Amino acid sequence: MISAVLLAAGESRRMGRLKQLLPFGPKTVIETCLDALLASRVDDIIVVLGHRYQEIQSHIEHFPVRIVINQHYSQGMSSSVIRGVRAIPSAARAALIAVVDQPLVTADIIDRLIDAYRKSEKKIVIPVYRGRGGHPIIIDLSFRQKILTIDPERGLRQIVYSHPQDVLRVDVETDAVIQNMNTWADYQRLLQRISSSMKE
C-alpha cells in the first residue's frame, strides 16, 4: 500500500494569492493535482491543509481523500510532511510526497515512480530531469520515525543525504517534476503551457 500526501498548507506569500484555488485549465490548481493522484496507482490520498483551510476544504470535500489540518503550517513544509505522515495508516508500505505547486505532474509520472519503487530494493525514489531532482518523491515507511523527527530546516533532504545507498533516481522526460509554481510569473508560464497543449 502506497499512501500519497499532498502538501497544500502554505500561505502562498510569494504568489500573493491563494495558489491552491487559482484556475488551472477547467479546474483549480489543487483539483488538478488531486485528479492526477486519483488517476494514479496510489492506494490512499491524504491532503494536508493549513492556511485558509476551510476555504480550500470546501472546494475539495467531494474528492475521495482524507483531509488533515496542519495548525503549525507557518513553521514550513516539514511541519506538513510530519502531519501528513502521521495520518498514514500503519499498513502502508511507503509514502508518496507531492506538492500542490506542481500541477503539471501527471498520473503517468506518479505511476512510473511507483513502478520503480516496487521493482527496486531502494527505499527512496526521486524523479530527475536533466540532473535536477524534483517531486513527487517516494519514501519507504521504514523511515517513518525519522520523518516524524526531521529537522525543519533540512526537511526530507536530511533523510535522503543520510541514506545515499537507499536512493533511486529515476530520469523523466518532462520538467514537470521541477516546475514549482511559486510566483505569479511562474503561474502565468504554466498556464501558457497548458493552453498550448490543449490547442495541439
Of 105 and 153, more confident: 105
Which pLDDT does position 38 carry in this prediction?
A: 97
Model-wide pTM > 0.85: yes
What count of residues does the chain have?
A: 200
Q: By percentage, how much of the chain surpasses pLDDT 90?
A: 60
Q: To which residue does cell 485558509 refer? A: 52
Task: Report the alpha-carbon distance of residue 111 to residue 66 in Å, rounded.
Answer: 20
Cell numbers placing 59: 472546494
- List the one residue out of 13, 20, 27, 25 whose CA is nearest residue 48: 20
Q: To which residue does cell 523511515 refer? A: 143
CB 92: neighbour CB atoms within 10 A?
Answer: 16
Q: To which residue does cell 537507499 refer? A: 166
pLDDT tens per residue across span 70-117: 988 888 888 899 999 999 998 999 999 999 999 999 999 999 999 999
Which pLDDT does position 94 carry in this prediction?
A: 95
From residue 189, how far is each of 16, 122, 136, 150, 192 by CA, in Å?
16, 35, 20, 33, 5
pLDDT tens per residue across span 168-187: 999 999 899 988 888 898 88
Task: For each of the domains in the chain, give its residue range(s) and CATH number, in order of start.
Answer: 2-199 (3.90.550.10)
Does residue 200 have a pLDDT over 70? no
Cell numbers placing 21: 484555488
DSSP calls for the chain = -EEEEEEE----TTTSS-GGGSEETTEEHHHHHHHHHHHTT-SEEEEEE-TTHHHHHHHHTTSS-EEEE-TTGGG-HHHHHHHHHHTS-TT--EEEEEETT-TT--HHHHHHHHHHHHHSS-SEEEEEETTEE-S-EEEEGGGHHHHHT--TTTTTHHHHHH-GGGEEEEE-S-GGGT----SHHHHHHHHHHHHHHHH-
Report which residue type is found at 19.
K
